[in-house]
Amino acid sequence: MPTPRPESWLYPTERGLFCAPGQFHIDPHLPVERAVITHGHGDHARSGHGAVLATHETIEIMKVRYGADCAAEFQAANGAQSINGVTVKLVPAGHILGSAQIVLDWQGSRAVVSGDYKRSPDPTCAPFELVPCDLFITEATFGLPVFRHEPAEKEARRLLASLEANPERTHLLGAYNLGKCQRMIALTREAGYDRPIYLHGGLRNLCDLYVRLGVDLGDLRNVMDSEPAELKGALVLCPPSALSDRWSRRLADPLTCYASGWMRVKGRARQHGVELPLVVSDHCDWPELLTTIEETGAAEIWVTHGREDALVHQIGLMGRRGRALALVGFEDEGD
């Protein structure tokens, strides 16, 4: 029996990527009966599905974000399983806690839906596992050759050096509330920073969840419960949207820091009024994207949200078939 062409059994619909023989969607952006979810970020995990298959950690994250009843039924992935004849297995993607690639085997053909992923080490989640496949579906958040992330440990050391050099200034670090925030905390802890770290209210719940799931984040306190004097020279984390909000006015001469892959480009950092940009990302940079595509051995690569044009062009240069998988509803929220 010849193996079927991938687009005959896996394709985008108006609700999201659909596996036809398995009768389930992957990261659907509208409610569906059966969903397989790669990770907990808002553009991948949504509420209102019937049955949800995801890692234990992703399910916990969804419950914190959307409530315990955000899906009718949850199933925590545990090894390979068959759904209507399609073998489904979740393997680590290295993006954030609980993030997984979805490996699909059907009639001798293997597709890997990687979700968001990265190859560089991260103390808060399991590392990316490479799965050879016929079709690899990759993100392209940083799909331009100008994006090369710095080693995250080095950026954490720069942050600590600045804290030491400016002991009178509160370091206000903007970091996405799921993943980046906890990674930055863990990185500073690894680098030896043992003073309390202060949190904006919007970061508390997910930090607590990480701790519950076994990620050590050290002494975390709420900005809201702290005396202004205590915050002088301290490290404060907040969501990026709060960096230039009225909220920051209570802090002593804040030094604005932002941890994101976008900080590689000066214009982006200046746009946010950032004084100390830290080039740390939970997504692949350009070289990592190319390496991964190469290593999967896939002849066919589909490219989801991000800068598809450039990556699809590059895949062509690499002698593979690249296609932009225009999935409606995927927003440019990752950083």
Partner 1 sequence: MQAFAELLDRLVYTTARNAKLKLLEDYFKQVPDPDRGWALAALTDGLPLRLSIRKTLATILEPHVDPLLYRLSRDYVGDTAETVSLLWPDARANAPPPSISDVVAEVSSASSREFPRVLERLLDRLDVKGRFALLKLLSGALRVGVSARLAKTAIAQAFGRAVEEIEEVWHAVTPPYGDMFAWLEGRGERPDPGRKATFRPVMLAHPIEEGDWQGLAPEDIAAEWKWDGIRVQLSARPGDVRLFSRAGDDISGAFPDIVQAFAHTEGVLDGELLVLRDRAVAPFNDLQQRLNRKGVTGKMLQDYPAHIRLYDILFDAQEDVRELSYLERRARLEAWYERFLPSLADVSALVPFAAFSELEEKWRQARENGIEGLMLKRKDSPYLAGRPKGHWYKWKRAALTLDCVLMYAQRGSGKRSSYYSDYTFGVWKTPDELVPVGKAYSGFTDEELLRLDRWIRTNTVERFGPVRQVAPGLVLEIAFDAVQPSTRHKSGVALRFPRVHRIRWDKPAREAETLAAVQALIPS
What residues make contact with partner 1 under the rule CB under 8 A? 144-146, 148, 244-249, 256, 264-267, 269-271, 273-277, 307, 309-310, 313-314, 317
- For the CB of residue 145, give the shortest distance to partner 1 in the complex, in Å: 5
- For the CB of residue 142, give the shortest distance to partner 1 in the complex, in Å: 11
- Tokens 């940083």 sit at which residue? 142
| Residue closer to partner 1 (CB basis): 60 or 155 | 155
CA distances to 47, 131, 205 from 68, rounded to whole Å, are 10, 32, 14
d(CA 50, CA 215): 30
3-state helix, strand, coil in the chain (%, to 5): 30, 25, 45
SS (H, E, C) 220-254: EEEHHHCCHHHHCCCEEEECHHHCCCHHHHHCCCC
| Residue closer to partner 1 (CB basis): 145 or 329 | 145
| Residue closer to partner 1 (CB basis): 93 or 172 | 172
Closest C-alpha among 45, 38, 59 to residue 102: 38
| Residue closer to partner 1 (CB basis): 21 or 145 | 145
| Residue closer to partner 1 (CB basis): 1 or 317 | 317
What is the CB-side half-sphere exposure of residue 140 using CA atoms within 13 A? 28
| Residue closer to partner 1 (CB basis): 237 or 243 | 243
**φ and ψ of 134, to 5 deg:** -90, -40
- Which pair of structure tokens corresponds to residue 196? 């309390």
